Amino acid sequence: MTKRASAGEAMPRVLRPKRGTSAGVTLLELLIVLSIMAIIAAMVVPMFGGVSTGELKGAARKVAAGLRLARSEALATRQETRVMLDLEQRTFRVERDPRIMTLPRQVELKLFTAQSDLVNEKVGAIRFFPDGGSNGGRVTLAVGERKYDVDVDWLTGRVAILD
């Protein structure tokens, strides 16, 4: 038994969206929102993390450049040249260069070198010889779990940055 609407009663209407309108979100709108969120996250995360990965890698490159400069000076002047590292102050300098290079405060430095080139617990050196060789060593730069090692090969004096 079906009920029929009488002349005075209106039949309920089923609401249907008009053609051409959408009740959902388009893929383009979703991509725009995700892009904006990614840009904001990229700007905010380094503010809370202290030193960004780029800054840490830049510090490792700075140390490597100082070591390479010392090696080329040893070759050019035919004299031993040292790179002095102060782990507490987070600075280093090439022996005959008056400039003192500073690293970010949050970077933790570790130096592995020959015992004879350690001045004390906080100051040490990596030495380059006139033939291009070195006493070898490693400078580790770290912030939390992220770290870079700057290695100096003892035989060739070659400087390399390792992740």
Higher pLDDT, 5 or 148: 148
pLDDT of residue 59: 94
In whole angstroms, give the CA distance from residue 149 to residue 155. Answer: 18
pLDDT at 20 over 80: no
Cα separation, 30 vs 38, whole angstroms:
12
Which residues lie closer than 8 Å to 21 by C-beta, 6 or more apart? none
pLDDT tens string 43-67: 876 666 566 788 899 999 999 999 9
Name every residue whose Cβ is closer than 8 Å to that of residue 40 and which is 6 or more positions away in sequence.
none
For the chain, list the domains and their CATH numbers: 55-162 (3.55.40.10)
Whole-number percent of the chain with pLDDT over 70: 82
Residue whose tokens read 């992740």 = 163
- pTM exceeds 0.75 for this model: no
